[in-house]
Chains A and B, each alone.
Chain A
Amino acid sequence: MSTILSDIKNSFVSIIKGLKVTAINWSILRPCVTELYPEQRPQLPEAYRGMPTLPVRPETGRSDCIACGACARMCPEHIITVEVDKTDPKDRKPAKFSIDISRCMFCGLCMEVCPKGCLRPARTFELASRTREGMIYNLDKLNELGGQLPPEPETKLES
């Protein structure tokens, strides 16, 4: 008999406790976590890793890319295409460079393997496009998205 009574008491107490928890959430004590996206922009973290881009070095007017093709070979999805510009053998630069971002999984291996460190993650995330072609980023678009590299700090290696 006493166990039944205590069961009844416990069930009522626990229901009221549960209702109290939801009421606290309901009240103004808990702000909404919803982000009103198009009006409110998300706060991107410092080390945000977006799609790979080719930032432009201001001194040369183009990226540091030497069209070695390491990124294209490393890419697990084979979405990077690189063709070398063969006009000047002393100055290696890409003639074509494109990334099909629709299949990119943002693993970042291309950026890790780049010997010149010129593939950098972009701080952008709105990559939607209405066409498949719009998802393929060529050299100009990648340069434009990457922006400009900060000027290189003057460091001299002691030989």
Chain B
Amino acid sequence: MNQILIDLALELGKLIAIAVVVLVFMLVAVLYLVLKLRWVIARIQSRLGPNRTGPWGVAQTVADALKLFQKEDIIPKGADKWLFTIAPALVFIPAYLVYVVIPFGAGLTAQSLNVGVMYISAISSIGVIGIIVGGWASNNKWSLLGAFRGASQLISYEVPIILALVVPVLINGSLDLNTIVANQSGGFWHWDLFTGFPMLPLAFLMLVIAGLAEINVTPFDIMEAESELVAGFNTEYSGMKFALFFLAEFAESFTLSAIITTLFLGGYQPPLHILGGQLTGIAFSAVSLFWFMAKCWVLVVFIMWVRSTLPRVRVDQLMNLSWKALIPTGLVNLLLTGAYVVFWMHK
């Protein structure tokens, strides 16, 4: 009996330790991403960006976060207090839970699930509930409009994202992210994007476009269009609650990069065998963590580049892109991939 209790306590301690590590990683990543975004956008606009707080301004986002903690937490008159309070958590928790299955390196997955891809697409779409709850509970027309737009946008773009995610899953024959990454070992020509099979680059492109819409960065940020809706669903939020929304938004942009990296760019596999592929054990874990982070960093910077280049689309253009372009393309793509897998690949 005692042995069972000790085992239980150990297991629980392990879980809490993993949760804390993932949370700390997420916070640090978001602090860096906000800073990097400000640097990139400043440089593109011929400015310098934050450079006063700490050396080269590296402490700027830490200072901003500390400032947000001190802000008064205002609940507007007429707001639904309960829903208003839990909405940030409803957005933040799914964004946090997605990190559980991402393989950051060899053996560096918090919990390896054999339905990893499905888990990611299922969990990340829960966030839309938080957005619509927050928009409705704010008792503000901008928030409500932003939440409606957000709901319609996120639901529309779930479909092409899943159609694009299924293609590498079919090719690899597994929903487990670790298996998919393991299949892509041995150099960059084994990565799913570069195998030469034309359906995979198309799915990659669809995932990038639909993913940008899913994390609502600028070309597709109609749900928080500043010029029309003040700040969309989070107009009325301040202090810590706003910080949670902000955190979730940037965490999602890292999540998108991590998913694209895992499914199409070889995950944590080094691009050439000599760049770490011959290592084993902890050394390989460290090297693979580095390669995963490097690939994610490139994708995140690309997202920031797109974000600071393209103007915002209209609502109808956004819907047309999803329902008239991405979903038919994705269906045809899926059909061709299925035919390829059934008739050629396993022959």
Decide whether A and B assemble into one complex: yes
Residues of A within 8 A of B (CB): 15, 18-19, 21-23, 25-26, 30-34, 36
Chain A residues with Cβ below 8 Å from B44 are 22, 25-26
Task: Assess whether A22 is in contact with B309, with CB atoms less than 8 Å apart.
Answer: yes
The one of A19, A21, A30, A33 that contacts B306, using a Cβ cutoff of 8 Å: A19
Residues of B within 8 A of A (CB): 40, 43-48, 51, 305-306, 308-310
Given A23-B305, A26-B40, A15 and B46 touching (CB < 8 A)? no
Whole-angstrom CA separation of A36 from B44 in the bound complex = 18
Which applies to chain B's interface (DSSP): helix, strand, loop or mixed?
A: loop
Whole-angstrom CA separation of A31 from B45 in the bound complex = 10
Chain B residues with Cβ below 8 Å from A26 are 40, 43-44, 305
Closest CB of chain A to B307's CB: distance in Å? Answer: 10
Task: Assess whether B47 is in contact with A32, with CB atoms less than 8 Å apart.
Answer: yes
Whole-angstrom CA separation of A19 from B301 in the bound complex = 13
The one of B47, B308, B309, B310 that contacts A34, using a Cβ cutoff of 8 Å: B47
The one of A15, A18, A32 that contacts B43, using a Cβ cutoff of 8 Å: A32
Task: Assess whether A31 is in contact with B305, with CB atoms less than 8 Å apart.
Answer: no
Closest CB of chain B to A75's CB: distance in Å? Answer: 38
The one of B48, B305, B309, B310 that contacts A32, using a Cβ cutoff of 8 Å: B48
Closest CB of chain B to A68's CB: distance in Å? Answer: 49
The one of A21, A30, A31, A33 that contacts B309, using a Cβ cutoff of 8 Å: A21
Task: Assess whether B310 is in contact with A15, with CB atoms less than 8 Å apart.
Answer: yes
Closest CB of chain A to B166's CB: distance in Å? Answer: 23
Task: Assess whether B48 is in contact with A34, with CB atoms less than 8 Å apart.
Answer: yes
Task: Assess whether A25 is in contact with B45, with CB atoms less than 8 Å apart.
Answer: yes
